[in-house]
Structure 1
């Protein structure tokens, strides 16, 4: 072990772990799509005790870009142990003039912009469910992996799927399900982009939820930049 602890949850965390021999990974929750990590992996919430037990000398938080609960927990834990701490967060998606995006500060605003009775493909993660209760639309929520139980909303259902999805896959789904709107968290990256490209082609509006505020401190957007930062913070 080299004292480098990576907080996982994103593809960038996986790529960084492959590039840093001897690192250790902590996943805040079990992955819905299991990856073959090249290093030891622990699963559970981040705390100072967890980092100490992992032998952390430096910490790179590369959780999902919208997982600010893990971002703040890592920030507090690293600060408590006086450890160098970097955030690796990929850039958000940006709309072009061809896109029909409506920016939202939080998921609860979706009920204000999406018309009653619309059929909405939701790709926000299950943590957004409570914010959708005021919507009077037909919600079709994408769920990666197996679906257990019905969607806990008045109208709608889960859509099980296993990516990666192509633009063709997404266009076929949007047409088959007669989707009127998309509701998406701005995760950035290539994995979720095909649904936005499909919406652009079909001229469908997208309610795009901004990323929540993250803690301060050093932050980079790419694995290459993270490796440069690590080289300046030897353990």
Structure 2
């Protein structure tokens, strides 16, 4: 019998977890809300790197790893691929397609925080949708800028920053209202793909705002890749 270790933390991963029975394990890093309505076991916390994950796979008699983490969780994905090889079990990955620029988009691609801040230099009111990373840089905000940072983590506002602690999905109407109220002049985003947070890009397009887009990291090769939850679930049903 196949026993799955599902690495998650995304809405896509939760969809997969809802299809798993008590044989399987859904693993979360511990950020955000921990679901309490799943039939599968839920594990919260890290493994101690790839070696720790490999040991967990062996100890728990895991026979397959599914990496359904965020496209920017490169270290976790690398650990999953390495641990699976070390434990001699297959590793599947859900790799959702990246967003693609459309007519009228003004995307400025960057590869790291230094490139990002350089690209933001001409602007005054950026909206950050990168997660928690900007919280570590609130003491570096240029004097001509006021940041709005949207992330999961509650955090007190800074002298020149507003923190919005919330979770997607975000609607088009809600994003339009936020942009109109705050008068952002640039959006800062990861190229996460999927529909849960895409509305901000449509509003940026409508308002002709530039988007500073953080490039996706390189992810490791795995035994099978899927670009949709449905395709992955169909493949699991074949195994059952």
Q: Specify if TM > 0.5.
A: yes
Report SS of the residue matched to 1:118. coil
State the partner residue of 1:43: 44
State the partner residue of 2:220: 215
Deviations 1:58-103 (A, max 9, x none): 1111011111111011112111101101111211111101222111
Deviation at residue 122 of structure 1 after TM alignment = 0.2
State which of 86, 89, 92 in structure 2 corresponds to 1:86.
92
State the partner residue of 1:143: 151
What is the root-mean-square deviation of aligned Cα atoms in Å? Answer: 2.5
Kindly tell me: are residues 88 and 94 of structure 1, through their superposed partners in 2, closer, same or farther at Cα, counting changes over 3 Å? same
CA distance in 1, matches of 2:237, 2:71: 23
Task: Provide TM-score, normalisation by structure 1.
Answer: 0.86
State the partner residue of 1:205: 210
CA distance in 1, matches of 2:155, 2:148: 15
Deviates more, 1:116-125 or 1:132-141: 132-141
Deviation at residue 2 of structure 1 after TM alignment = 4.1
Report SS of the residue matched to 1:25. strand
Q: Does 1:124 align with 2:130?
A: yes
The answer (yes or no) to whether the contact 2:187–2:210 under 8 Å persists in 1 is yes
Report SS of the residue matched to 2:163. strand
Deviation at residue 149 of structure 1 after TM alignment = 3.4
Deviations 1:17-49 (A, max 9, x none): 223434321112233474743311101124112
State the partner residue of 2:177: 172
CA distance in 2, matches of 1:187, 1:131: 22
State the partner residue of 1:74: 80
The answer (yes or no) to whether the contact 2:74–2:219 under 8 Å persists in 1 is yes
Deviation at residue 195 of structure 1 after TM alignment = 1.0
Stretches of structure 2 lacking an aligned partner (at least 5 in a row): 48-52
Report SS of the residue matched to 1:19. coil
CA distance in 2, matches of 1:162, 1:27: 16
Task: Provide TM-score, normalisation by structure 2.
Answer: 0.85
The answer (yes or no) to whether the contact 2:134–2:149 under 8 Å persists in 1 is no
Report SS of the residue matched to 1:60. strand
CA distance in 2, matches of 1:142, 1:28: 20
The answer (yes or no) to whether the contact 1:103–1:209 under 8 Å persists in 2 is yes
Q: Does 1:194 align with 2:199?
A: yes
State the partner residue of 1:11: 11
Stretches of structure 1 lacking an aligned partner (at least 5 in a row): none
Length, aligned pairs only: 231
Deviates more, 1:44-53 or 1:76-85: 44-53
